[in-house]
Amino acid sequence: MIWIDYELCTNCKRCLSCPYGVLEDSNDEVVVANPERCMRCCYCVQVCGVGAIRVDGC
């Protein structure tokens, strides 16, 4: 499972470069659009500079 803490998120959108297309931009906000695609590679967690993304197992 993947979560975004919108209180921490600065909307930098670095996480949108997820290689599996899990995250998308919707109305100028990052959303978990395709959670079933998440391979728990932890890429999004690593690129988030403020710790706003959590993924089970990362």
- Please count the residues of the chain: 58
- Torsion over CA: 20, 55, 1, 10 (sign): negative
Q: Give the pTM.
A: 0.89
Q: Give the CATH number for residue 12.
A: 3.30.70.20
Pairwise CA distance, residues 2 & 58, whole Å: 10
Question: Structural domain tally of the chain?
Answer: 1
φ and ψ of 18, to 5 deg: -50, 125
Supply the pLDDT for residue 5.
98
Give the pLDDT confidence of 41-56 residue by residue, as tens digits: 999 999 999 999 999 9
Supply the pLDDT for residue 7.
97
**Domain of 8?**
2-55
Give the pLDDT confidence of 2-58 residue by residue, as tens digits: 999 999 999 999 999 999 999 999 999 999 999 999 999 999 999 999 999 999 999
